[in-house]
Amino acid sequence: MDFDALTHDDPEVAELILAEHRRQRDTLDLIASENLCPRAVREVMASLLTDKYAEGYPGRRWYGGCEVVDEVERLAIARGKALFGCEHINVQPHSGSQANMAVYFAALEPGDTILSMNLAHGGHLTHGQESNFSGRLYRIVHYGVSPETERIDYDALARQAREVRPAMLVGGASSYPRAIDVARMADIAHDVGARLLIDMAHFAGLVVGGVHPDPVPVADFVTATTHKTLRGPRGGLVICKKEDARHIDHTVFPGIQGGPLMHVIAGKAVSFALAMAEEFRTYQQRVVANCRAMADEMALLGYRLVSGGTDTHLFLVDLRPMHLTGARVQAWLGSAGIVTNKNVIPFDDQPPSDPSGVRLGTPSLTSRGADEADVRQAARWIDRVLRASDPSAEAERLRPEVVDFCRSHPIPE
Ligand code: DSN
């Protein structure tokens, strides 16, 4: 990595970035929402596009000197429309939270009812958590997963929608391992006159890769982050039909944001182009195949997986049969160089700070070239630590093997 100016001007921050580089280089990242964006995207993010103010939209800015960034944003929009096959895309949201906020503000009034996935069953903060703006501004009713299958019961959801009559149905989750039946969700929403938002933050890359049902043709609004399975810069986007385009754009700016981050928008343009290549499709197929293989290995090793497995890039391990909790497991695996996150599981008795599950995902590992044999090995490493009589000591013993693996599967430099 090349940090000549930074090393000279601020060696302290330069050293922290190098430390993070070493950490990423020498650890296995199994956090399902993380990925490794290509160097081209990082170069754009570090470019002087960060200096430009461009409030407004291409051709309609509140600042002079926007002729180049206009082209950047037009390119991101054109590529985004081609990639997702959508009528309209807004590439300015700084994050997935702001993308969701834009949709709620554009389509709802405060106090309207939103029917969304329970956070404790895999939903997201912006789907109505009580301290989040969504939970404070709207009347939130949650659906969850069935206690028997740990999957969404679409018949039950349809009945609930008929009782609740929400203004908006929200589909999408942060820790739901199964594909979402977006067509069924659209039927349920439209049957009760609700608008449908599909938050595909986690699975946008899978949609592009053709390994998850595509919400774009059936949903009124689709939001995404660009840094998870999509493997782009950290940011968000909103997709909608032409009739909502003006309203969404006006809600993003000036409604909830000021100046767009033009370096990030350029990064989105680059990642959209990369996502159109055949290699990206293959990558997404491998993310899902790797996830299935790793989940299968964990199940063979005797672990209980929420819903019995996965259709996506992530799965959840129920630690209760092992008499373990997520915080300890996350810490032990972290000592071995295996980075995970503790996670609530449906019907969890444990508090969110130390829940009964751990979430495992394969996007980052697959970006390093890991194959099914590699992820099965990662599962066996996890088992080795968790079954050891002294997991902390076993994690220390395992650490050099993890580093060897990481060195033979480098991160993008
Ligand atoms: N925090 C993200 C995740 O880890 O799933 C969701 O925004």
- CB of 174 within 6 A of ligand 1: the answer is yes
Q: What is the tens place of the pLDDT at every residue in 57-99?
A: 999 999 999 999 999 999 999 999 999 999 999 999 999 999 9
Query: How many residues are there in the chain?
Result: 413
Integer Cα distance of 152 and 167 in angstroms: 20
Task: For residue 395, give the nearest of 411, 384, 405 by alpha carbon.
Answer: 384
Closest-CA residue, ligand 1 atom 4, reads: 33
Q: What is the tens place of the pLDDT at every residue in 273-311?
A: 999 999 999 999 999 999 999 999 999 999 999 999 999
Residue owning tokens 């915080």: 327
- CB of 33 within 6 A of ligand 1: the answer is yes
282-408 CATH choice from 3.40.220.10, 3.90.1150.10, 3.30.1240.10, 3.30.420.480:
3.90.1150.10
List, in sequence order, every residue forming a beta bridge with 29; answer none if it has no partner. 339
Integer Cα distance of 369 and 340 in angstroms: 19
Burial class (CB in 10 A: 0-12, 13-18, 19+), 410: exposed
Band the pLDDT of 345: cuts 50, 70, 90: very high
Integer Cα distance of 319 and 303 in angstroms: 8
Integer Cα distance of 366 and 32 in angstroms: 11
Start and end residues for every CATH 3.90.1150.10 domain found in the chain: 282-408
Band the pLDDT of 2: cuts 50, 70, 90: confident
Read off the DSSP letter of residue 145.
B
* Residues 238 and 97 sit within 8 Å (Cβ to Cβ): no
Q: What are phi and psi of 108, to 5 degrees?
A: -125, 165
Please choose from 29, 30, 31, 33 the residue to mutate so as to test ligand 1's pocket, defined by most ligand atoms within 8 A of CB. Answer: 33
Burial class (CB in 10 A: 0-12, 13-18, 19+), 238: buried
Q: Is 234 a catalytic residue?
A: yes
Sign of CA dihedral 355, 361, 365, 371: positive
What atom in ligand 1 is closest to the CA of residue 202?
5
Ligand 1 center to residue 62 CA distance, Å?
A: 33
Q: Is 63 a catalytic residue?
A: no
Integer Cα distance of 148 and 7 in angstroms: 56
Closest-CA residue, ligand 1 atom 5, reads: 174
DSSP-assigned letters across all residues of 326-392:
HHHHHHHHHHTTEE-EEE--TT--S-TTS-SEEEEE-HHHHHTT--HHHHHHHHHHHHHHHHSSSHH
Name the E strands within 118-202: 139-143, 168-171, 195-199
Q: How far is CA 161 from CA 47, 84, 106, 156, 335, in A?
A: 47, 28, 21, 9, 45
Band the pLDDT of 16: cuts 50, 70, 90: very high
Start and end residues for every CATH 3.40.640.10 domain found in the chain: 43-275
Ligand 1 center to residue 361 CA distance, Å?
A: 12
* Residues 150 and 307 sit within 8 Å (Cβ to Cβ): yes
CB atoms within 10 A of CB 205: 27
Helix (H) or strand (E) holding 224: strand 221-225
What is the number of alpha carbons within 13 Å of residue 328 lying toward its C-beta?
A: 14
What atom in ligand 1 is closest to the CA of residue 175?
5
Q: Is 143 a catalytic residue?
A: no
* Residues 304 and 318 sit within 8 Å (Cβ to Cβ): yes
- CB of 132 within 6 A of ligand 1: the answer is no
Q: Which of 26, 34, 42, 55 is catalytic?
A: 55
Integer Cα distance of 362 and 400 in angstroms: 21
Q: What is the tens place of the pLDDT at every residue in 192-250?
A: 999 999 999 999 999 999 999 999 999 999 999 999 999 999 999 999 999 999 999 99
Q: What is the tens place of the pLDDT at every residue in 146-186?
A: 999 999 999 999 999 999 999 999 999 999 999 999 999 99
When computed from its CA atoms, the radius of gyration of the chain, rounded to whole angstroms, is: 22
Q: How far is CA 342 from CA 35, 241, 412, in A?
A: 18, 37, 27
Average pLDDT, the chain: 97
Integer Cα distance of 92 and 22 in angstroms: 32
Q: Is 228 a catalytic residue?
A: yes
Q: Which of 225, 325, 362, 366 is catalytic?
A: 225
Q: What is the pLDDT of residue 1?
A: 66
The domain defined by 43-275 folds into Aspartate Aminotransferase; domain 2 (3.40.640)
Q: What is the tens place of the pLDDT at every residue in 307-342?
A: 999 999 999 999 999 999 999 999 999 999 999 999
Residue 334 tokens read as 């972290």
